[in-house]
Copies of this chain bind each other. A is one copy, B any other.
Amino acid sequence: MLTGESLSLKLENIRSALNRQEETLIFALIERAQFRLNASIYDPKAFRLESLSFLDYLLLETEKVHARVRRYTSPDELPFFPLTSLPDPILPEAVYPKSIVPNQVNLNEDIKQAYLESIVPELCLPGDDGHFGSSALGDVSVLQILSKRIHYGKFVAEAKFLRHRDKFVVLIRRGDRERILDAITDAKVEEQVLDRIQAKAAAYGRNESNPGAPQLIDPLLVRKVYEKIVIPLTKQVQLLYLLDRLKHE
- Chain A interface residues (CB < 8 Å from chain B): 19-20, 22-24, 27, 30-31, 34, 47-49, 54, 57-58, 61-62, 65-66, 68-71, 74, 90-91, 94, 130, 132-133, 136, 196, 199-200, 203-204, 206, 208-210, 216
Contact = CB atoms under 8 A, between A and B. Distances in A.
Q: How many copies of this kind of chain does the complex include?
A: 2
Contact of A20 (B27, B62, B70, B209): B209
A27 B22 contact: no
Contact of A216 (B23, B49, B70, B74): B23
Given A47-B91, A49-B91, A74-B133, 13 more contacts: A19-B209, A19-B210, A23-B216, A27-B30, A57-B69, A61-B68, A65-B65, A69-B133, A71-B133, A196-B209, A199-B208, A200-B208, A204-B204
A129 to B, nearest CB: 12
Nearest to A213: B16
A208 B200 CA distance: 6
Nearest to A54: B69
A20 B48 contact: no
B19 A23 contact: no
A177 to B, nearest CB: 32
Contacts of A70: 133
B200 A209 contact: yes
Q: Tell me which of A30, A65, A69 has the highest count of chain B C-beta atoms within 10 A of its own C-beta.
A: A69
Nearest to A97: B130
A194 to B, nearest CB: 15
Contacts of A136: 69
Given A49-B90, A208-B199, A65 B58 contact: yes
24 contacts: A20-B34, A20-B209, A23-B209, A23-B216, A24-B31, A27-B30, A47-B91, A48-B91, A49-B69, A49-B90, A49-B91, A58-B69, A61-B65, A62-B62, A65-B65, A69-B132, A69-B133, A69-B136, A71-B133, A94-B130, A196-B209, A199-B208, A203-B206, A204-B208
Contact of A22 (B20, B31, B65, B209): B209
Nearest to A131: B74
Contacts of A200: 208-209
Contacts of A30: 23, 27
Contacts of A23: 30, 208-209, 216
